[in-house]
Chains A and B, each alone.
Chain A
């Protein structure tokens, strides 16, 4: 085999590997959902995050409008602080409320935004006031059990 032919096949081989990696990143992976659109950050305090994770989607009416970019703990208020990266093309009133929801009964947790009625829009660095913590299934069950046990005592 001549040199040029070898070179061609080696080039083809390496190119094929690059194509395969791009395929895995774009078609099988979540590379295509990386947005390079400009974003603005808002914060929110929660009593309980449940199983919320960084990079979880932020949805409004079921449409992804941003992602969770950071989760930390505020040691003065004893609350969790969630930082949200919202895409600049989506704007929400300052009195919007956000809650931690679960897709399906056992699915992944995400943040839902319900728009409010104010004229002013949320901007970089604002804090969302109205928050609703995650519903923890175990708490719900234990509440239900205790209340039904209490009812039995009364009867």
Chain B
């Protein structure tokens, strides 16, 4: 009985310690961000690695999500004789929710894992320790550019996802099913608000970018320096950042669209 209680206590203590550790790393990255501004080349390399290489999977996923929204939306809307609202349905669900959330989930899988594995392997190969020996701060040189690269790449990817998704919905709705294109676009323009929907979706994608990148960097940074440790850290990145994305999404949706 006493053992069970102390096991629970240990678990709580460890999770609080992990949270504190995470926050300390996040703070350290933010404080050292000035270095990234002085060496923009490092950041742009990371944007290229994180962003450009994720572009294809994001665009293809967006297209298919748009297709499916078009088909499913049409099926439901046609029951009520309001097929013309399909454009509105596709655009609103993409800009408000699916664009930022699905992009962030794909981003965690595509870019987050590679960040974790890269940093974990650097640690396992004692490259980070070697940097410290050479008086190069590994947080400044390795983590900060990756953090800003992720934060810049994520909103861009989410915007591309939403745009391609709207085009996908248009392809299915207008070209395949034959909804009137004028009604498709005008209903969409009437219902989608630039501030309420597009800007709030953009804010969501920035927050997700910060969250996913920080989780990925922290997992790599704290990985045990063994092959098994790196593989565990990679798994942890996907699990934690996915849960964090969904939780943050609920909180932000409640705040932004609550009333």
Chain A residues at the B interface, C-beta cutoff of 8 Å: 3, 6-7, 9-10, 12-14, 16-17, 19-21, 23-25, 27-34
Whether A29 and B44, one on each chain, are in contact in the complex, defined by CB atoms closer than 8 angstroms, is no
Whether B185 and A27, one on each chain, are in contact in the complex, defined by CB atoms closer than 8 angstroms, is yes
Whether A28 and B45, one on each chain, are in contact in the complex, defined by CB atoms closer than 8 angstroms, is no
Interface of B (DSSP majority class): helix
B192 at the interface (CB under 8 A from A): yes
23 intermolecular pairs with C-beta atoms under 8 Å apart: A6-B44, A10-B51, A13-B48, A13-B51, A13-B153, A14-B47, A17-B155, A17-B159, A19-B163, A20-B160, A20-B162, A20-B163, A24-B159, A24-B162, A24-B163, A24-B192, A25-B194, A28-B188, A28-B189, A28-B192, A29-B91, A29-B194, A30-B193
Whether B95 and A13, one on each chain, are in contact in the complex, defined by CB atoms closer than 8 angstroms, is no
7 A-B pairs with the lowest CB-CB distances in the bound complex, closest first: A17-B156, A20-B159, A20-B163, A28-B91, A29-B194, A29-B192, A10-B44
Among B153, B157, B160, B198, contact of A29 (Cβ-Cβ < 8 Å): B198
Range of interface residues on chain B? Answer: 20 to 34
Q: What chain B residues lie within 8 Å of A23 (beta carbons)?
A: 163, 166
Whether A6 and B48, one on each chain, are in contact in the complex, defined by CB atoms closer than 8 angstroms, is yes
Whether B51 and A3, one on each chain, are in contact in the complex, defined by CB atoms closer than 8 angstroms, is no
Distance to closest chain A CB from B66 (angstroms):
12
Question: Could you give, for residues 211-231 of chain B, a 1 whenever the CB lies within 8 Å of some chain A CB and a 0 otherwise?
Answer: 000000000000000000000
Q: What chain B residues lie within 8 Å of A10 (beta carbons)?
A: 44, 47-48, 51-52
Q: Assuming the A-B contacts A3-B41, A6-B45, A30-B193, are A21 and B188 also in contact, with contact meaning beta carbons closer than 8 angstroms in the complex?
A: no
With a 10 A CB-CB cut-off, give which of B55, B157, B160, B163 has the most chain A CB atoms.
B163
